[in-house]
Amino acid sequence: MTEVWIAGTFDTKVAELEYLRDCLEQQNVDARLIDLSTQKHGHKTDISANDVAAFHASGVAAVFDSPDRGTAVAAMEQAFASLCAHRRDCIAGIIGAGGGGGTSIVTAGMRALPYGVPKVMISTLASGDVAPYVDISDIVMVPSITDIAGLNRISRRVLRSAAGAFAGMLAAPTEEDVVGRPSIGLTMFGVTTPAVTSTVSALEPDFECIVFHATGTGGRCMEQLVQEGILGGLLDITLTEIADLLVGGVLPAGEERLDVVAKTGVPWVGSVGALDMVNFWAPHTIPERFKDRLFHHHNSNVTLMRTTVDENQKMGEWIGQKLNRCDGPVRLMLPEKGISALDIKGGPFWSPDANAALYAAIKDTVTVTKDRQIINLPHHINDPEFAAAIARIYRNVSGS
């Protein structure tokens, strides 16, 4: 990786982008200017907008002959993402600055780069909901404070600080990847932490255990790493993202959750951790249709809602249908004494009827084979015995 890129729309942001280049030169960073403009201008860059647009599947016309700016921006997003994917082994880092359109285009390219490659986006939108721009990547969003519409005492300071941080990222030494141990992914939530940490302790001598927070993006990041061949197996202990997807919470998985297991055939040992809850933000944000439900206030900004019998039946069927598509080694572990720290006898979400509906739906839906099995265990999900069984079974199915 030898090329450092400064990306943005040089038809409107030339002063800011060239200032970033000057700041990086003071840090002894030689950077290339990448133009993502959707209209013609006279500024010279290292890679022109026409060069970028040529990476669109329909050619430069998709960008420059578009009937409106929105269509042109969307086309340039696709073109820049394609260019970055094509050059991903050469790009050492990208820094960009922009407003709405520029942020959308630059971050589309950043998302095509591997994890760990420095990505810094200075944006007028960085203090709002940045999920559409960051998605499951490791982009650093920096609020621009002022509009990116010329240099001034505020914008210079923000741009200079961001350039300094970016230069530091580029200069940071790269650690060698752990060798000799296969990498596996585990899903965890606060209410399943004992289960996951005990499982990690049991497996860590022989596996590199990488834990993902089951917040929607966590599960998607994990499955992306499976798709890329970085993770060779999953201990998917916490499936709570599926509850949010099917019931309407704020931390949902995508509809494609579990599909990568079917596509790749990696060993999968999972459980139903935290399917007793749906996540919402502060109480005033909860949709009116849920007003009569059972809630637990996790903190001032997170409210948990207990799933019902009907919802558990629906989740069990959904999970079962997904697992039926998996031909690799699959083991679904069902803890009989509760599925989260709240779902325990005497706890606020203890509901044997809801769990029974979940387990019945799973068993009625899953087609059991030699490689696809359901295993009941007489433990709570956070019991040490449950973690020991999870670890033992994973070793068996992975051949380790």
pLDDT tens, position by position, 360-384: 999 999 999 999 999 999 999 999 9
Q: What integer pLDDT is reported at residue 179 of this predicted model?
A: 58
3-171 maps to CATH 3.40.50.12020: yes
CATH architecture of 183-398: 3-Layer(aba) Sandwich (3.40)
> What confidence category does residue 175 fall into, taking pLDDT thresholds of 50, 70 and 90?
confident
Q: What integer pLDDT is reported at residue 180 of this predicted model?
A: 77
Q: List CB contacts of 70: < 8 A, sequence separation 6 or more.
A: none
Domain borders along the chain are 3-171, 183-398
Q: Which of 41, 38, 101 is nearest to 64 (CA)?
A: 38
Indicate the average pLDDT of the chain.
Answer: 96
Residue linked to tokens 């099995």: 373
Q: What is the pLDDT of residues 287-336, one digit of tens each?
A: 999 999 999 999 999 999 999 999 999 999 999 999 999 999 999 999 99
Q: What integer pLDDT is reported at residue 277 of this predicted model?
A: 98
**Fold match flag (3-171 vs 183-398):** yes
% residues pLDDT > 70 (the chain): 99
Q: What is the pLDDT of residues 209-252, one digit of tens each?
A: 999 999 999 999 999 999 999 999 999 999 999 999 999 999 99
Q: What integer pLDDT is reported at residue 173 of this predicted model?
A: 85
Q: What is the pLDDT of residues 112-128, one digit of tens each?
A: 999 999 999 999 999 99
* Mean local confidence (pLDDT), 385-396: 98
Q: Is the pLDDT of residue 350 over 70?
A: yes
